Amino acid sequence: MTTVKAYGAKSAVTPIESLSIERRDPKPHDVEMEILYCGVCHSDLHTARNEWGGTIYPVVPGHEIVGRVTRVGDHVKRYKPGDLAAIGCMVDSCRECENCKEGLEQYCSSGMVGTYNGRERDGSGITYGGYSKMIVAHEDFVLRISDKLPLEGVAPLLCAGITTYSPLRHWEVGKGHKVGILGLGGLGHMGVKFASSFGADVTMLSHSPSKEADAKRLGAHHFLLTSDKAQMSKARNSFDFILNTVSAPHDYNTYLGLLKTNGTMVCVGAPSVPAEVPAFNLIFQRRSFAGSLIGGIPETQEMLDYCADNGITSDVEVIDIKDINESYERMLKGDVRYRFVIDMATLK
């Protein structure tokens, strides 16, 4: 075991602070990585503050990890010391269920192991995330990244990127589709980039008029101000697909009404309160209301390769790890364009 410097929360009401954790030495199929950058996801905040329940303290958040391989196990063939690599939202699954065999490890029937706040399948302990100097994971859950893109912009692709890429691909969004992206934040800005790259006609749905210029810079063709009743009324029954990225409580029915017959709204944000959706808002236009969770390892690698080929990264603000608590508060206010990323060299 190796003692590693990290930042984490010791309770739901204490700040993220410096602490030490133990990392295992690489097993035969393990990859050890020095962490260079780690994105800051809204899930980190939810988990640190136990807003979803089930947090195991101390918790070390962070599942948007890019780094450099430092050691590998004897049986590892795809990675060697010095390689750039990445780890996303999960570090293990059963590998045996139907979903795992289809490359849908995120839907593992017995539960995937989260990169942080998860329980190792062998019972050896709790997983700790990327707010740390290094990490060890099985090679099957380590991903290749290109050196053609800035690493700080690649880090959020491991969650914000795949969370939006996966549903757009699953519902085969592309040319000829009218798509709405609800919420211009860490997830929403990646949804705009991907949907427009796939050839869809993209409308940014936002309550903030100040977001219009940025939305169009990112690739949106149109902007709909959701606080404008006239604009919302005019847009009823007009979208084929809406990607709902909002993590705060909101009325889903307002946006379901914007869907055409057979339209689909997919939720990738995760508010902490249940939603109320009357059946009539779905059945009269045969609308679908669905959800999506990250992507499996094959699809995540596909997404990373697509981004490398098409020059797509996240828009980020790089921070010192000592500023993580301030960043959480700014994130709650929407004061980030559009993802905080920790420069792990600042963890001394």
What is the pLDDT, as a whole number, of residue 168? 98
Task: Report whether pLDDT(270) > 90.
Answer: no
pLDDT digits (tens, 9 = 90+) for 34-70: 999 999 999 999 999 999 899 999 999 999 999 999 9
Looking at the fold, whether 153 and 168 belong to one and the same domain comes out as: no
Mean predicted confidence (pLDDT) in 165-190? 97
pLDDT of residue 272: 78
| 94 and 243 together in one domain | no
* SS3 track for the chain: CEEEEEEEECCCCCCCEEEEEEECCCCCCEEEEEEEEEECCHHHHHHHCCCCCCCCCCECCCCCEEEEEEEECCCCCCCCCCCEEEECCEEECCCCCHHHHCCCHHHCCCCCEECCCCECCCCCCECCCCCECEEEEEHHHCEECCCCCCHHHHHHHHCHHHHHHHHHHHCCCCCCCEEEEECCCHHHHHHHHHHHHCCCEEEEEECCHHHHHHHHHHCCCEEEECCCHHHHHHCCCCEEEEEECCCCCCCHHHHHCCEEEEEEEEECCCCCCCCCCCCHHHHCCCCEEEECCCCCHHHHHHHHHHHHHHCCCCCEEEECHHHHHHHHHHHHCCCCCCEEEEEHHHCC
Residue 151 is part of a domain; what is its CATH number?
A: 3.90.180.10
| Same-domain pairing of 10 and 137 | yes
pTM for this prediction: 0.96
For residues 86-109, average pLDDT: 98
**Which CATH number goes with the domain that contains 198?**
3.40.50.720
Q: What is the pLDDT of residue 247?
A: 87
pLDDT for the residue 294: 97
* pLDDT score recorded for residue 271: 84
Residues 204 and 120 occupy one common structural domain: no
Q: How confident is the model at residue 173 (pLDDT cuts 50, 70, 90)?
A: very high
Shared-domain flag, residues 183 and 286? yes
Domain range enclosing 26: 2-159+295-346
Report, as an integer, the average pLDDT of 106-132: 96
Same domain, 281 and 179: yes
Same domain as 190, residue 247 = yes
Q: What is the mean pLDDT of residues 31-36?
A: 98
Statement: residue 321 has pLDDT above 90: yes
What is the average per-residue pLDDT within 168-176? 98
pLDDT (tens digit, 9 = 90+) per residue, 232-247? 999 999 999 999 999 8
- Asked whether residue 78 falls in the same domain as residue 177, the answer is no
Q: What is the mean pLDDT of residues 211-228?
A: 97
Number of domains in the chain: 2
Q: Are residues 110 and 221 in the same domain?
A: no
- Per-residue pLDDT, 275: 87
Q: Please check whether residues 89 and 121 belong to one and the same domain.
A: yes
Q: Quote the pLDDT of residue 196.
A: 98
